[in-house]
């Protein structure tokens, strides 16, 4: 059967070369649940992190510093003895110092292969789900500005390694008490340990990491160490989506825990 003429420039399922099917799509399940859930989860995080990033308060309670505010690169940081306090940015015009540092984890997650899928589906409906056509007339993928910038992901991965290193340092410092004496632990230490484990697992499960570790090799047999590392990263990589969500929740949780302590709403139970 001949195809009806498609509108000029129509692509994807509306392209002339595709079968003519009257129905919008043939899925009968609740396909919209996944993109709707994704959009709701991401939106909740965006609202929470925006509030906390601009709050410029309640981000430190000895010995814990919120992961949203570490390392502190501005002079108007609260005096902290937890994370590095490099003060290279002057008073930062009174703006929240979190904004200086959050650019890196934000850029890492925004350009992440998984999150791209998540927000392309959840927010842009491009496409909303498998086998459900997108409402947009044209599809250019990530070949043009601004989406071509997604290619910088590898560089954000390098930055994320540094950020994970700094959060590891903060976690080590959480093995102190309020007087900065070593060998102590509180509930916050466990919260930080859980968060840093998930942050590292998410960071190392990155697709760029997998390529850096095991890509562009002709013979794995000649690179046994890289082959082994690639095997480990690949295992984590298979759980990238799960780790993306788990670390997103844990980083918000670690920040919220510090907020509760710093605002006086809760007292850190100490184990020893
Ligand atoms: Fe998701 Fe790199 S692909 S963090």
- Cβ-Cβ contacts under 8 Å for 211 (sequence gap 6 or more): 154
Mean pLDDT by 10 residues, the chain (272 residues): 48 74 88 96 97 93 92 72 64 77 95 97 92 84 93 97 95 91 95 98 98 93 95 98 98 98 94 88
Q: From the CA of 22, how far away is ligand 1's center (Å)?
A: 38
Separation of CA 210 and ligand 1 centre (Å) = 10
Q: Is the CB of 114 under 6 A from ligand 1?
A: yes
Tokens representing residue 6 in the block? 């498609």
CA of 84 to the centre of ligand 1 (A): 26
The residue whose CB lies within 8 Å of the most ligand 1 atoms, and thus the one to mutate among 104, 105, 106, 114, is: 114
pLDDT at 25: 87
Query: Ligand 1 in contact with 245 (CB < 6 A)?
Result: no
What pLDDT is stored for residue 80 in this prediction? 66
Q: What share of the chain is helix, strand, coil (3-state, %, to 5)?
A: 55, 5, 40
Confidence (pTM): 0.90
- Please name the helix (run of DSSP H) or strand (run of DSSP E) that holds residue 215, with its range, or none: none
Q: Quick one: pLDDT at residue 82?
A: 58
Helix axes 187-204, 224-237, angle to 10 degrees: 110
Distance 238 CA to ligand 1 centre (A): 12
The ipTM of this complex is: 0.99
Structure tokens at 244: 């993306």
């Amino acid at each position: 059967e001949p195809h009806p003429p498609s509108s000029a420039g129509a692509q994807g399922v509306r392209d002339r070369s595709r079968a003519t099917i009257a129905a919008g799509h043939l899925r009968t399940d609740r396909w919209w649940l996944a993109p709707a859930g994704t959009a709701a989860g991401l939106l909740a995080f965006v609202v929470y992190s925006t509030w906390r990033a601009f709050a410029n308060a309640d981000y430190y309670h000895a010995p814990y510093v919120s992961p949203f505010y570490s390392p502190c690169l501005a002079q108007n940081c609260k005096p902290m003895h937890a994370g590095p306090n490099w003060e290279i940015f002057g008073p930062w015009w009174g703006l929240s110092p979190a904004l200086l540092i959050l650019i890196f984890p934000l850029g890492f997650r925004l350009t992440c292969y998984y999150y791209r899928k998540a927000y392309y589906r959840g927010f842009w409906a491009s496409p909303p789900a498998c086998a459900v056509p997108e409402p947009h007339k044209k599809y250019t993928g990530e070949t043009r500005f601004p989406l071509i910038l997604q290619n910088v992901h590898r560089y954000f991965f390098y930055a994320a390694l540094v950020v994970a290193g700094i959060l590891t340092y903060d976690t080590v410092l959480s093995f102190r008490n309020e007087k900065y004496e070593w060998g102590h632990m509180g509930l916050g230490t466990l919260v930080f340990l859980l968060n840093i484990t998930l942050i590292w697992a998410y960071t190392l499960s990155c697709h760029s990491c997998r390529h850096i570790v095991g890509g562009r090799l002709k013979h794995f047999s000649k690179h046994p160490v890289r082959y082994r590392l690639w095997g480990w990263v690949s295992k984590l990589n298979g759980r990238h989506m799960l780790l993306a969500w788990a670390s997103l929740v844990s980083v918000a949780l670690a920040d919220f825990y510090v907020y509760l302590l710093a605002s006086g709403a809760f007292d850190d139970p100490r184990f020893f």
